[in-house]
Amino acid sequence: MLVTKNPTRGAAVLFFALAIVISGCGPPGPRALLKGRKFIQRGDYGRAAAELKAATRLLSTNGVAWNDYGVALQHTRQFDEAAQAYQNALKFDRDLVEAHYNLGCLWMEMGKLGDAKTELTAYIIRRGNEAQGWLELGDAQLRADQLLDAEKSFSTVLYLNSKNPAALNGMGLARLARDRPQDAEQFFAAAVQDDPAYGPAILNLAVVNQEYLRNNDVALENYRAYLALTPRPGDWDAVNALATALEQKDLSRSAGQTEPPPEKLPASEPPPIPAPVVEKHSAAAAAPPAPRRPERRQPGVMHRLNPANWFARPENRRAPPPHPATQARVPAPANSSKPAEPVHIVAPAPPVFPRYMYRSAGQPAPGNRAAASTAFRQAQQFQEQQQWPQAMEAYGKAAAMDPSWFDAQYNYGVLAFDQGRFGNALAADEMALAIQPDSMAARYNFALALQAAGYVTDAVEQFKRVVAENPGHAQAHLALGNIYARQYHDVAAARQQYLKVLALDPGNPHAADIQFWLSSNPP
């Protein structure tokens, strides 16, 4: 859905436009704007673009005209020109938040997910109660593999509208990407229950049952429901071939026939299982195209454009390559002598991370403290002037001149970390700990540097030492929770750490995110 103008000002603009029509006269700029909008309503986007181009020339600082011009250009797939038009709309009217939404959807269409998220976020800041903006933002986050963020956006949609099949479908895709097929099946089924004609969820329900849960009977039932949709989905032939293959297997089992040995199988392989259907699609993706969801129903008011534009139609859009976590796999042939057993979901092997080579540094010998003090004072001056690279280098000189000076080592490690020079930070932090082994600040910094450098196992060991000596260190508990959740995928351990953070620091800036993660990952 593209938004043609700000609803708060739409009535006045529309009234003025109707007055022009009735009178048959008026300034050429408003006349061109009105004609362009009428062509948009009729779906004649080429003529709309011509009229609106004239409108933007005559009304060069009118944000609404530029936004409408962008809509027409986007429909005619002149994407670069449409982006410039939306940016002009925001340049001349910063309150025209609908242009943020349109530009975000355009960046999505062009595959610029980072820019899309920025614009859609700008939209929902001002239109936080509109489910559509959250839905599009969730789509962008899902495509960017930001799965927890996507779930949070889709959950907001469902909070605003509990019966939104697109959001339920998105939640299912996010859970499937996180290797939780049972959860995904429940969301897909809920989407179908809310809208029995919602094609993407029907197909996804079939895919997850065949590919992940090995329930071919339920899969076949949903494939048949998908094939019965009107109008016929774009990949009807591929899905029909798959359904036919499943039916033949069922007939073979019921007749007591056994599967032919592998060496006698025909050379042609059965059709692949369609990848789960996602919301946004790349024009350069591989065939065959996956079916799209039905167009979202929108109120028939002039301020909003019908979403049935050229690039949203199933025959003109192609599905993106499936995410590795949701890559379609053909199930193994069922044993004809007994029903297929449910698939046992095997937990992935524990991740393996590189280990840090400790320097085993003992207490360093004192150096030239006087010379080091001069460099230290220079570093402080650079720091006051926010000249961070120079400050870091000066602290490094001070630490080299007197390796036993804790403050020099500590400060050098902090600034080296901030500058992304993790190797330098690790060496300085380790030296600082050799000087003052009881410094919790130095140990916490050392753990952060280990984590940033990829030495996750060693970072966990150091964070554990911090919380063992200081159980009230909420930030260390938070760091451990993040590692358990993101690197180790250990839900139980992550929950334990996150709950400690909430108990120690209820006002933590990440408290809302932690609460959402806990609700999404029950015990």
Per-residue DSSP letters for 116-157?
HHHHHHHHHHH-TT-HHHHHHHHHHHHHTT-HHHHHHHHHHH
Out of 16-20, 29-33, 317-321, least confident range? 317-321
Confidence check: pLDDT of 469 > 80: yes
Sequence-distant (≥ 6) Cβ neighbours of residue 259 within 8 angstroms: 252, 333, 334, 335, 336
Out of 3.30.420.40, 3.30.70.260, 2.40.10.230, 1.25.40.10, which CATH number does the structure's domain 369-520 have?
Answer: 1.25.40.10
Average pLDDT over residues 100-107: 93
What is the pLDDT at residue 330?
25
Alpha carbons 73 and 374: distance in angstroms, whole number? 63
- The HSE-up count of residue 276 (CA atoms within 13 Å, CB side) is 31
pLDDT tens-digit series, residues 490-517: 889 999 999 999 999 988 888 887 887 8
Alpha carbons 401 and 416: distance in angstroms, whole number? 17
pLDDT tens-digit series, residues 387-432: 989 999 999 999 999 999 999 999 999 999 988 888 999 999 999 9
- Spatial contact of 101 and 272, defined as CB atoms under 8 Å apart: no
Residue 435: Cβ within 10 Å count: 19
Q: What is the rounded (10 degree) CA torsion for 478, 143, 69, 3? A: -70
Confidence bin at 364 (pLDDT 50/70/90): confident
Alpha carbons 258 and 252: distance in angstroms, whole number? 7
Confidence check: pLDDT of 16 > 80: no
How far are the Cα atoms of 202, 206, 207 from residue 228, in angstroms, in the given order? 11, 14, 16
Per-position b or e across 203-217, b if 16+ CB within 10 A of its CB = bbbbbbbbbbbbbbe
Confidence check: pLDDT of 8 > 70: no
- The HSE-up count of residue 481 (CA atoms within 13 Å, CB side) is 22
- The HSE-up count of residue 474 (CA atoms within 13 Å, CB side) is 13
**What single DSSP character describes residue 487?**
T
Instruction: Decide: helix, strand or coil at residue 439.
Output: coil
Confidence bin at 247 (pLDDT 50/70/90): confident
What is the pLDDT at residue 235?
86
Choice between 25 and 100, residue whose per-residue pLDDT is larger: 100
Confidence check: pLDDT of 114 > 60: yes
Average pLDDT over residues 129-155: 91
Instruction: Decide: helix, strand or coil at residue 176.
Output: helix
Alpha carbons 451 and 444: distance in angstroms, whole number? 11
Integer-rounded Cα Rg, in Å, for the chain is 30
Q: Where are the alpha helices (DSSP H) in 181-309?
A: 181-194, 199-207, 216-227, 236-254
Choice between 200 and 286, residue whose per-residue pLDDT is larger: 200
**Closest C-alpha to 491, from 371, 347, 380, 360:** 347
How far are the Cα atoms of 98, 123, 161, 455, 518 from residue 89, in angstroms, in the given order? 10, 14, 30, 48, 41
CATH no. for 1-93 = 1.25.40.10
What is the pLDDT at residue 95?
82
Supply the mean pLDDT for the chain: 77
User: Of 10-19, 74-83, 309-318, which one has max mean pLDDT?
Assistant: 74-83
Q: What percent of the chain has pLDDT above 70?
A: 75
Alpha carbons 451 and 396: distance in angstroms, whole number? 22
Out of 79-93, 166-180, 294-308, least confident range? 294-308
Average pLDDT over residues 453-481: 93
Tokens of 247: 């039916």
Confidence check: pLDDT of 30 > 50: yes
**pTM summary value:** 0.51
Confidence bin at 266 (pLDDT 50/70/90): very low
Confidence check: pLDDT of 436 > 60: yes
Q: Provide the residue ranges of all domains of the chain, joining segments of one domain with +.
A: 1-93, 369-520
pLDDT tens-digit series, residues 272-285: 444 454 433 322 22
Alpha carbons 269 and 313: distance in angstroms, whole number? 30
Average pLDDT over residues 473-481: 94
Alpha carbons 83 and 104: distance in angstroms, whole number? 9
Average pLDDT over residues 323-329: 25
What is the pLDDT at residue 308?
23
Confidence check: pLDDT of 365 > 60: yes
Q: 């028939």: which residue's tokens?
A: 300
How far are the Cα atoms of 160, 205, 211, 215 from residue 183, in angstroms, in the given order? 21, 11, 14, 15
Assess whether the region 1-93 and the region 369-520 belong to the same CATH fold: yes
pLDDT tens-digit series, residues 172-219: 999 999 888 988 998 999 999 999 999 999 999 999 998 888 888 899
pLDDT tens-digit series, residues 78-91: 999 999 999 999 99
Per-position b or e across 12-38, b if 16+ CB within 10 A of its CB = ebbeebeebeeeeeeeebbbbbbbbbb
Which residue type does 271 have?
P
**Closest C-alpha to 384, from 406, 409, 411, 402:** 411
- Spatial contact of 446 and 423, defined as CB atoms under 8 Å apart: no
Instruction: Decide: helix, strand or coil at residue 329.
Output: coil
